[in-house]
Amino acid sequence: MLWPSLAMLDQDGFLSDDLRVVSVAREAVAKTEFLGRVQGAIEKRINKDLEDGTLDRFLKRVSHVALDASDPEWGNKLKAELGDIDTLDIVYFLSVSPTLFKPICEHLETAGLSRAPNRVIIEKPLGRDLASSKVINDSVAHAFEETRTFRIDHYLGKETVQNLLALRFANTVFEPLWNAQSIDHVQVTVSETVGTGDRLGYYDDYGALRDMVQNHLLQLVCLLAMEPPSNFNSDALRDEKVKVLRSLKPITADVVKEVTARGQYGAGFAEGHQVAGYEAEKGSPSNTETYVAIKAEVANWRWSGTPFYLRTGKALPSRTTEIVIQFRAVPHSIFGAAAQPNRLVIRLQPDEDIKLTVMNKAPGLSADGMQLQPLDLSLSLTNAFDSNGDKPSRRRIAYERLILDALNGNNAAFVRRDEVEAAWTWIDGISAAWAEAYPKPQLYPAGSNGPISAHMLLERDKRVWND
Catalytic residue among 154, 216, 332, 455: 216
- Interior angle at CA 390, CA 385 and CA 393, nearest 5: 85
Active site residue 216: yes
Which residues on adjacent β-strands are paired with residue 354?
346
What is the H or E stretch that residue 21 is in? strand 21-25
Please give the sequence-ordered ranges of beta strands (E in DSSP) within 238-385, or none if there are none: 260-266, 268-270, 273-275, 291-296, 308-313, 320-327, 343-349, 353-361, 372-378
Distance in angstroms (rounded) separating the CA atoms of residues 155 and 380: 18
Burial class (CB in 10 A: 0-12, 13-18, 19+), 22: middle
The sign of the torsion formed by the CA atoms of 304, 306, 307, 308 equals: negative
**Phi then psi for 426, rounded to 5 degrees?**
-70, -45
Distance in angstroms (rounded) separating the CA atoms of residues 344 and 187: 11
Is the CB of residue 286 less than 8 Å from the CB of residue 264? yes
Q: Residue 243, by phi and psi: left (phi above 0), alpha (psi -120 to 50) or beta?
A: alpha
Is the CB of residue 304 less than 8 Å from the CB of residue 180? yes
Helices 417-437, 234-247: inter-axial angle, 10-degree rounding: 20
Distance in angstroms (rounded) separating the CA atoms of residues 294 and 282: 26
Please give the sequence-ordered ranges of beta strands (E in DSSP) within 225-277, or none if there are none: 260-266, 268-270, 273-275
Catalytic residue positions, numbered? 216
